[in-house]
Structure formats: C-alpha cells, structure tokens
Amino acid sequence: MNGAEKASFVNQVFDTIAGDYDRMNMLMTWGMLPMWQRRVMRYTDLPLAGRGLDVCCGTGEMAFQLAKLAGPYGESVGVDLSREMLAAAREKQAQRQVDNISFKEGDALNLPVSTGSFDAATCGYALRNVTDIPRAIREMARAVRSGGKVVCIEVSRPLFPPARLFFNFYYYKVVPWLGDRLVSRRLVGDQYSPYAWLAESLRSFPNRRTICRYYKEAGLVDVHTRSCGFGATTIYVGRKPTPEESLRPEPTILDRVLGPIVQVKNKCLSLIKRIKG
C-alpha cells in the first residue's frame, strides 16, 4: 500500500483497539511497559517547568508521565491522528484531573507545533506505523529547542539467537492470537486483524543502526540506544545541538581515530599525577 493508504489503514487499526489498548500493552509486555516508559522519561532530561511533547501519544500514558516530570508550571502535549485514541486520553485526563496536559489531533509527519518550542519529544511504539520514518524523526527534532532530547522506544529484534527465536514465536504467533481473542478479530481493510498488522509491521521496520542514522541525518547528536526486555525493545536517544555545536566543523577520520587515544593518554597522566601527589 502507498503512503496515504497506509496512513488511513493505521488510523483504522488504532481506532479499533483504542478501548483495550492499555490492557493489551500490559499483557504483551508482561507488565514491564511502565518500567520501560520510566526509562524513556529519564533519558528526556525534561526539566521542572519544562515542555514535553509525546508524538503518536495513543491513550496518553507517556504524555501523562511528561506532565508529571514538568510539574504544575510545565506542560505536556500529546499528538495523535486517531480520534478514538485521543478520546480515551482525554477521558483519562478528566478522571485523573491533570491540568498541565493537552491533546491535539495531528500527523507525526507534520506536527501542529512551533519549531523549538519543547524541551523534549518522545514517541512510543509508533515509528513502524508512520509512512516516512526519517521525516517523523526530523519533525520531532524540529519541535525541540537546542539542547533538547528526542527519545523514542520501539519494538526490536533481539540479537541473541535464543532470545530472537522466542521473540519471533511470541510476537508473530502469540500476540496476534491474544489480540484476536481479547480485543478484536475484525479485519481492518479486509486484510489484517489489528494485532496481526502490528506484528507484521515489524517485518519491514529498519534495524537499530538505520534508525540511529535517521537520527543523525535529522541533525541530532550524542545518538545512542538502550535495550530493554532482552533486546525486544530499544530506546533511541538523540540531542539537538546548540548553535555553538552546529558551527563546529565535522570531525575528520583522523580526529575519530586519535580522539580516544588522546583521552586515554590524558586520563593516564591525570592518574599518575594523583599517585605522585
């Protein structure tokens, strides 16, 4: 399917599962999802009274965590294309009586926010469902200020062979089976049941190295990853450089080779001085 068809299809998928989305997420991750989300929050470095943006926010769980980090004088904004997901998020907001959060209907490829208006942007398990992953990352990078973080968490394939074998069976066989029985087995677009689609969407998803390259191409620096759940989930972290950093020339190959050597030398000299002193 082309980009427009995929966007419409994904929107239907998430509208269909909105009511049971949180319950299935907890079940699929064996209750570990909140712990992984807290790790995402730590990597955002969102300051008190800051502004956090959650892209493809779904029912708003990470947007609520950003609001908690920002505190009463800060703000959290959740953006999603699915109206049913946003309705569920707003219902939670009313129940929890959280004032420093707002939800907007919008596309991850054209975020309805001003450039450089957030201290951090997050995205949870949604990159594989957008039609243009590099553009989605560029939009998040555009939305954050200089020095701000872009942190995404996404399903990934474990590198350790036994873990990968178990993951393939669980993700491609068990998860769709659970989704069919606990949420909906109705075919979306006469093609897939919702959780069969979510599993299939990983097959064409780029590997970790490629996602890191997209981060760097979006202008982000200090790009790195952290694995969760034996590699079944990966957190991608990048920082928007300051104006001063942007003006620095790109390091040459020689700089990259000699840099670590110089650092080791300086550490050894410092250690020797401490021992002599």
- Could you list the residue range(s) of the whole structural domain that residue 153 is in? 3-251
Q: Which two tokens stand for residue 246?
A: 């942007």
pLDDT surpassing 90 at residue 88: yes
Please state, in angstroms and rounded to a whole number, the distance separating the CA atoms of residues 36 and 124. 10
Please state, in angstroms and rounded to a whole number, the distance separating the CA atoms of residues 148 and 121. 8
Confidence label for 90 from pLDDT (cuts 50, 70 and 90): very high
Of residues 250 and 269, the one with the higher pLDDT is 269
Amino acid at 28: M
Pick from 23-37, 70-84, 248-262: least confident: 248-262
CB 92 within 8 A of CB 68: no
Look at residue 184 in the predicted model and tell me its pLDDT.
58
Q: What is the pLDDT of residues 137-168, one digit of tens each?
A: 999 999 999 999 999 999 999 988 999 999 99
Please state, in angstroms and rounded to a whole number, the distance separating the CA atoms of residues 112 and 79. 8
**How many C-beta atoms lie closer than 10 Å to residue 186's C-beta?**
9
CATH number for the domain harbouring residue 211 = 3.40.50.150
pLDDT above 90: percentage of residues in the chain: 62
Place of tokens 């399917």: 1
**Count of domains forming the chain:** 1
Q: Is residue 276 part of a domain?
A: no
Look at residue 252 in the predicted model and tell me its pLDDT.
66
- Tell whether residue 59 is among the known ligand binding residues: yes
When pLDDT is averaged across residues 64-78 and rounded to a whole number, the result is 97
* Core vs surface per residue 71-86: b (16+ CB within 10 A) or e: eeebbbbbbbbbebbb
Please state, in angstroms and rounded to a whole number, the distance separating the CA atoms of residues 133 and 177. 28
Q: Is residue 99 part of a domain?
A: yes
Look at residue 192 in the predicted model and tell me its pLDDT.
67
Q: Is residue 237 part of a domain?
A: yes
Look at residue 186 in the predicted model and tell me its pLDDT.
63
- Tell whether residue 225 is among the known ligand binding residues: no
β pairing state of 51-55 and 75-80: parallel
